[in-house]
Amino acid sequence: MAASRTVPVPIDAVGAMPLHVWVPPAGSGPAVLLIQEIFGVGPYIRAVANRLCEAGYVVGAPEVFWRFAPGWEAGHDEAGLAASMEQVGKLDSAAAATDCVAAFRALRALDEVDGIPGVMGFCLGGSLAWSVAAAAEPAVCVSYYGSGVPSMLDQIDHVACPTLFHFGNADAFIPNDGVEAINAAIDRRPGFVLNVENAGHAFDNHESEMFYDESAAQAAWAKTMAFLGEHLPAG
Q: What is the Cα–Cα distance from 103 to 174, expressed in whole angstroms? A: 27
Q: How confident is the model at residue 13 (pLDDT cuts 50, 70, 90)?
A: confident
**pLDDT, average across residues 3-16:** 91
The 8-class DSSP code of residue 149 comes to: G
37: Cβ contacts below 8 Å, ≥ 6 apart: 44, 45, 121, 122, 123, 124, 125, 202, 205
Q: How confident is the model at residue 1 (pLDDT cuts 50, 70, 90)?
A: low
Q: What is the pLDDT of residues 119-177, one digit of tens each?
A: 999 999 999 999 999 999 999 999 999 999 999 999 999 999 999 999 999 999 999 99
**pLDDT, average across residues 167-188:** 96
Strand ranges across the sheet with 192-197? 4-11, 15-22, 58-62, 31-35, 118-122, 141-144, 163-168, 192-197
Cβ atoms of 72 and 38 closer than 8 Å: no
pLDDT at residue number 183: 98
24: Cβ contacts below 8 Å, ≥ 6 apart: 2, 53, 54, 55, 56, 57, 58, 234, 235
188: Cβ contacts below 8 Å, ≥ 6 apart: none
pLDDT at residue number 235: 76
Q: What is the pLDDT of residues 97-112, one digit of tens each?
A: 999 999 999 999 999 9
65: Cβ contacts below 8 Å, ≥ 6 apart: 40, 72, 87, 90, 91
Cβ atoms of 134 and 48 closer than 8 Å: no
